[in-house]
Amino acid sequence: MTARGRFITFEGTEGVGKSTQLQNAADTLESLGVEFIVTREPGGTPMAESIRELLLAPREEPVNEMTELLLMFAARAQHLHTRILPALAAGKWVLCDRFTDATFAYQGGGRGVPKERIAILESLVQGEVRPDHVILLDAPVETGMARARSRGELDRFEQEAVEFFQRIRNTYLERATAAPANYHIVNAALPLEQVSEGVTGLLRALVVASRK
């Protein structure tokens, strides 16, 4: 019987370097001989990527917060059952750029959707499935937004005010503080080399622990 893989998510506000650290994590797992996939939310499958495009595209029409929330979980349902769960069942590790913590942070903290509503959808779509570990890349909002703006044109979320992202950051930190065994906060404001060393160390420790 194949041992279940590990589900590792990378979270944080805009511009904290999730893409860079996902690649770093992938390189680390490869060097350790661990089978894995790298994916993202919203997205990860053709259908979920189409929903992602709907969510991120700037538009003149106001997007109701419940529309946004339901689209997030629609994409997640497809992603989870089509890609994530089959990979875990096959013994592969899953490295995912954002998951439901992002929904609690962005739609909950950012938009003000009651967390109880999000929790209902979380249970409906995911059942008991939760990430084994969450790597939270944390940096001051101003630092992250400066990096995001340097990348070019901003998507619908990146165009929000600084206060929106401060609420998001606060929600992430609250969730991490409430469950320290599963959340690993990495100071993403440090030089890239130090951030990468921190993430590499975390991944190596998780792999060692999984082999005991």
Q: pLDDT digit of tens for each residue in the chain (212 aa)?
A: 568 899 999 999 988 999 999 999 999 999 999 999 999 999 999 999 999 999 988 888 999 999 999 999 999 999 999 999 999 999 999 999 999 999 999 999 999 999 999 999 999 999 999 999 999 999 999 887 777 777 767 677 777 778 999 999 999 999 999 999 999 999 999 999 999 999 999 999 999 999 88
Residue 1 has what pLDDT? 58
Q: What pLDDT, on the 0 to 100 scale, is given for residue 151?
A: 73
Q: pTM for the full model?
A: 0.93
Query: Do residues 172 and 12 lie in contact, with contact meaning Cβ atoms separated by under 8 Å?
Result: yes
Question: How much helix, strand and coil, in percent to the nearest 5, is found in the chain?
Answer: 55, 10, 30
Q: What is the pLDDT of residue 83?
A: 98
Specify the pLDDT at position 160: 73
39: left (phi over 0), alpha (psi -120 to 50) or beta: beta
Query: Which pLDDT belongs to residue 2?
Result: 67
